[in-house]
Structure 1
Amino acid sequence: MDNNDRGASAPLTSYAEAVDWINGLIPFGIRPGLERIERLMELFGHPHRRLKFIHVAGTNGKGSTCAFLTGALIRNGYDVGTFTSPYITKFTNRFQYNGQDIPDETLLALSNRLKPAVEEIALTELGSPTMFEVSTALAILYYADVCYPDVVVWETGLGGRMDVTNIVHPIVSVITNVGHDHMDILGDTLEKIAAEKAGIIKAGVPVVTGVSQPEALRVIKETANLRKSTCYAAGENFFYEKTAGSEDGQSLHFRGPFREFDLSLSLRGEYQLENAAGAFMALEVLRQYMAFQLDDEKTAAGFAETFWAGRMELVRREPRILMDGAHNPEGAAALAQSLQSGWTYGRLVLMMGMLSTKSHEDYFKSILPLVDELIVTEPDFRKKMDASALAEIAEGLRAEYAKPELAITVEPDWRAALARFEASIGPEDLGVVSGTLYLISDVRAQLLQQADSEKGW
């Protein structure tokens, strides 16, 4: 039976309506489990089984790793689908083919194919598929039925084991790192979080990981061993070292089981060295064992050209304004390390806003020692954290972690906070906007004067 003949409600008539319909499923939440996505795929004849996936999980660095993989593969002549979240400017960013967003009209057509099936499942004991499940299904239909990429770079939404993206059987898996994020869902220890990420490891499919904490790495290696999957771990099976760095980029030397290689990156941030090395190791596995034809010069060019919005992104040079979506303790530590290793400035002015779903003490412990002026605000999002509550956390840590002269301003309205922030940055200073990507997205659109910016998970 054709999926358009289910006698469901009226079809969607515009891109905006399609996005509203998908986002309208947000109240159904994030419900771990694969039953609904499996039922959806069954209704469409299991299209994901026709595709080759590189599955990427991890706490931080997933998006950048996906960007490196995509850039290098496209440069080598492969057609590449890239599915990522959250998006920073427009809903269509999540579904890319050869670096270009899905066309609005294609998203509308696929939403109309999915809608009757989603409504059918909503009437069963499974309940309605969620926003993320429908987005994942839409990505699979786009790649399997519309554009037919050679390979799909496939980012997990949350965790791994029970994440809806885990319906696929990849050709290689990547676990970037493990940190303290989404602990309400994934568990309250690094071992528990690592076990969720390790859930993407499939029988006989090699896995590359940058996980460094011994207790977390042990879980990943044990899972790989159990599933007879070869594990390539940073610091054990492959190595990298920084060879140069400045405000405009950095380079690294990679040493792996098959060879050594030098890479230059335009992406800033110490943590991008780790992401690039993991992505390169995954490409080495494809080259060595899966007959991927990868030319060294093209691969190097792909890494050098890779751009990822909102990650140590210099959006203005006079005065310098840097955006970094660090929103958990590990992200803050990486941001602090990067600021200390590659940047010179007079004062550091930090503007930040967070979601209320996380604890932010450890975030402040990493970044406060560097800050001269802190402006706390609120993202335009339903789960925002009160700016005054954030300021209280910073005040509580002032004596032990902050500079004596630290100035703290509370401005809940992010636009007013941005005006204050811009006025505070002197010619020699550095302004940093950090925190949840919901804030980064809005501030970035304002600074770059992007009128049609959307944002979301």
Structure 2
Amino acid sequence: MTYPQAIAYLYGLQRYGVKLDLENIQRLLGAVGDPHRRFPSILIGGTNGKGSTAAFLASILKTAGYRVGLYTSPHLLEFTERIQVDGQAIAEADVVALTNELRHVIAEFFPTPYTLHPASGTPKPPTPPLQKGGTGGFRHAPGAASSAPTHPTFFEVATALAFMHFVRSKVDYAVVEVGMGGRFDATNVIDAQVAVITNIALEHEEYLGKTLGAIAAEKAGIVKEGTRVVTAVDAPEALAVITDACRKRGATLFDVRNSYDWRVHRSDLSGQRFSLGEKGQPTETFDIPLLGRHQVINAVAALAAARLLRTAGAVISEGSIREGLRQAQWPGRLQIFPGRPLVILDGAHNPAGAIALRAFLEEQGFAGRLTLVFGVLQDKNWIAMLQELGPLAKRVILTRPESERAADPRRLPEAERFCPKIEILEDVAEAIALAKTVTDPEDAVVVTGSLFVVSAALRALEVQGRQT
């Protein structure tokens, strides 16, 4: 099996869609020796900000001298980005070896084995007896038991692959980001020393529920008996659910908003500086390179998690926390490409993300001084997103993300309600090239709506940079 064949096999598993159930992942991990039980871990859930918080915490642990695994999703450019050890993406050769191993395990332990065409490497899956879900994928009802296991999904296999890699890399800690929800997410098989819930907003309602309380109940599923929990949730309805879950499970809840005071002293295009202290105590100063005030709360959540890990025996100095925060990187989230005009990439993909992006653009003086390149997936609340971002733009260029789930930009008729001037260019690279041409040099081009659009934009900007 070559690396392209391994990736074709893994992506082919997307045919099996989204399945919120722990039965398959437990069976799959059991067949390879339960790797998730062989390293201490931290599990990070929430709606937005969980990836950034994971990146902050992994950087803190690495700075403290630990060997750290980091598992996040989705990736921007390459599958290997999802699985990192000490900031280094998993090698392609390791992806091949682990995928091949898992493929044989799946063939032995699961029905309808997924085969690889010997000549082309093209995945040839059987049609699984699954129910079509609300996003056009397939899913089982959450928690539904079955007499025989169904075929593992892409995310289940990727999660098993990550845990196997962490064991073989001999990590001291693994920082793991929840994929979707929490209670039945494949990552929730781990017994985390600390669980973090960053925030709660409406997302994936067809899977998680249509109210903040219902979604919070799914997110709170990562709270285990007697564990330590950090939360930055501010919605009262959601916080009440998380608090109740911790009480019922005997978990210790650390609410950063009630426990800390912090103040942002500088927030610009070079990074941010903030001071923080426990309520009524002296403050310390911290610097982070990630942009947008919403990243400060993510940094605070990671800081709180690191301090809780100390109570479980980790050796993490305050200096390591400070330096780890300062060195953290998380590409594709308010990522700046200098030039005239400036290009800003942000993976905001829901209304909460659009609100945070709008706050940043307004604070930095870009309101009314930008061209918005916007592409969204069809199951997202694009109306609410454009309602936030459209009024800030001189013009909006609607484009199509590189995904089968992409919304057709020609079928976003209500966009004109929020945007002064609409143009459509389905190709992302062409949309960015036009945006840079029509935007005044002192203004900015903002690319957002989906990580798929950001990924395509990164590739296009790299090509355009080589051509200039």
Whether these two folds match at TM > 0.5 is yes
1:73–1:351 Cα change, 3 Å: same
Is the 2:429–2:456 contact (alpha carbons within 8 Å) kept by the matching residues of 1?
no
Match of 2:66? 78
How big is each residue's C-alpha offset from its partner over 1:273-324, in whole Å with a ceiling of 9 and x where there is no partner?
A: 111011111111112x122222333321221121211101102333200001
Match of 1:130? 153
Is the 2:361–2:367 contact (alpha carbons within 8 Å) kept by the matching residues of 1?
no
Moved more, 115-124 or 59-68: 115-124
1:373–1:255 Cα change, 3 Å: same
Question: TM-score scaled to structure 1, two decimals?
Answer: 0.91
Question: Is 1:281 aligned to 2:295, yes or no?
Answer: no
Question: Is 1:410 aligned to 2:424, yes or no?
Answer: yes
Q: Measure, in 1, the Cα distance between the counterparts of 2:204 and 2:385.
A: 14
Is the 2:273–2:286 contact (alpha carbons within 8 Å) kept by the matching residues of 1?
yes
Among 415, 422, 445, the residue aligned to 1:394 = 415
How big is each residue's C-alpha offset from its partner over 1:74-126, in whole Å with a ceiling of 9 and x where there is no partner?
A: 11111000000000121110110000011111111111211111123331721
> Following TM superposition, by how much is the alpha carbon of 1:351 offset from its aligned partner in structure 2, in angstroms?
0.2
Q: Measure, in 1, the Cα distance between the counterparts of 2:395 and 2:464.
A: 27
User: 3-state SS of the aligned residue for 1:222?
Assistant: helix
How big is each residue's C-alpha offset from its partner over 1:393-413, in whole Å with a ceiling of 9 and x where there is no partner?
A: 222x33xxx5xxx21111222
Is the 1:328–1:363 contact (alpha carbons within 8 Å) kept by the matching residues of 2?
yes
User: 3-state SS of the aligned residue for 1:340?
Assistant: helix
Match of 2:229? 207
Q: Measure, in 1, the Cα distance between the counterparts of 2:464 and 2:302.
A: 30
Q: Measure, in 1, the Cα distance between the counterparts of 2:7 and 2:185.
A: 22
Is the 1:256–1:281 contact (alpha carbons within 8 Å) kept by the matching residues of 2?
no
> What CA RMSD, in Å, does the superposition of the two structures yield over aligned residues?
1.7
Is the 2:376–2:449 contact (alpha carbons within 8 Å) kept by the matching residues of 1?
yes
Is the 1:232–1:238 contact (alpha carbons within 8 Å) kept by the matching residues of 2?
no
Moved more, 154-163 or 117-126: 117-126
Among 401, 408, 419, the residue aligned to 2:433 = 419
Is the 1:209–1:278 contact (alpha carbons within 8 Å) kept by the matching residues of 2?
yes
User: 3-state SS of the aligned residue for 1:193?
Assistant: helix
> Following TM superposition, by how much is the alpha carbon of 1:450 offset from its aligned partner in structure 2, in angstroms?
9.8
Match of 1:28? 16
- Unmatched 5+ residue regions in structure 1? 1-12, 452-457
Match of 2:449? 435
How big is each residue's C-alpha offset from its partner over 1:197-225, in whole Å with a ceiling of 9 and x where there is no partner?
A: 10001111111111110000000110011
> Following TM superposition, by how much is the alpha carbon of 1:50 offset from its aligned partner in structure 2, in angstroms?
1.1
User: Structure 1 counterpart of 2:36, which letter?
Assistant: H
Match of 2:44? 56
> Following TM superposition, by how much is the alpha carbon of 1:186 offset from its aligned partner in structure 2, in angstroms?
0.8
Is the 1:276–1:303 contact (alpha carbons within 8 Å) kept by the matching residues of 2?
yes
Moved more, 329-338 or 365-374: 365-374
Match of 2:119? none
Is the 2:212–2:237 contact (alpha carbons within 8 Å) kept by the matching residues of 1?
yes
Is the 1:345–1:428 contact (alpha carbons within 8 Å) kept by the matching residues of 2?
no
User: 3-state SS of the aligned residue for 1:278?
Assistant: helix
User: 3-state SS of the aligned residue for 2:175?
Assistant: strand
Question: TM-score scaled to structure 2, two decimals?
Answer: 0.89
Match of 1:216? 238
Alignment of 1:218-297 (within 5 A): 218-256=240-278, 260-287=283-310, 289-297=311-319
Match of 1:339? 361
> Following TM superposition, by how much is the alpha carbon of 1:256 offset from its aligned partner in structure 2, in angstroms?
3.1
1:166–1:259 Cα change, 3 Å: farther
> Following TM superposition, by how much is the alpha carbon of 1:229 offset from its aligned partner in structure 2, in angstroms?
0.6
Alignment of 1:1-16 (within 5 A): 13-16=1-4
Match of 1:92? 80
Is the 2:340–2:442 contact (alpha carbons within 8 Å) kept by the matching residues of 1?
no
Is the 2:368–2:394 contact (alpha carbons within 8 Å) kept by the matching residues of 1?
no
> Following TM superposition, by how much is the alpha carbon of 1:348 offset from its aligned partner in structure 2, in angstroms?
1.1
Match of 1:172? 194
Moved more, 185-194 or 251-260: 251-260
User: 3-state SS of the aligned residue for 1:449?
Assistant: helix
> Following TM superposition, by how much is the alpha carbon of 1:389 offset from its aligned partner in structure 2, in angstroms?
2.1
User: 3-state SS of the aligned residue for 1:20?
Assistant: helix
Q: Measure, in 1, the Cα distance between the counterparts of 2:365 and 2:291.
A: 10
Is the 1:121–1:129 contact (alpha carbons within 8 Å) kept by the matching residues of 2?
no
User: Structure 2 counterpart of 1:178, which letter?
Assistant: I
User: 3-state SS of the aligned residue for 1:393?
Assistant: helix
Question: Is 1:151 aligned to 2:173, yes or no?
Answer: yes
- Unmatched 5+ residue regions in structure 2? 113-147
Q: Measure, in 2, the Cα distance between the counterparts of 1:167 and 1:238.
A: 31
Q: Measure, in 1, the Cα distance between the counterparts of 2:300 and 2:387.
A: 28
User: Structure 2 counterpart of 1:205, which letter?
Assistant: T
Among 362, 366, 382, the residue aligned to 2:404 = 382
User: 3-state SS of the aligned residue for 1:25?
Assistant: helix
Q: Measure, in 2, the Cα distance between the counterparts of 1:450 and 1:40.
A: 44
> Following TM superposition, by how much is the alpha carbon of 1:127 offset from its aligned partner in structure 2, in angstroms?
1.5
Among 90, 103, 116, the residue aligned to 1:102 = 90
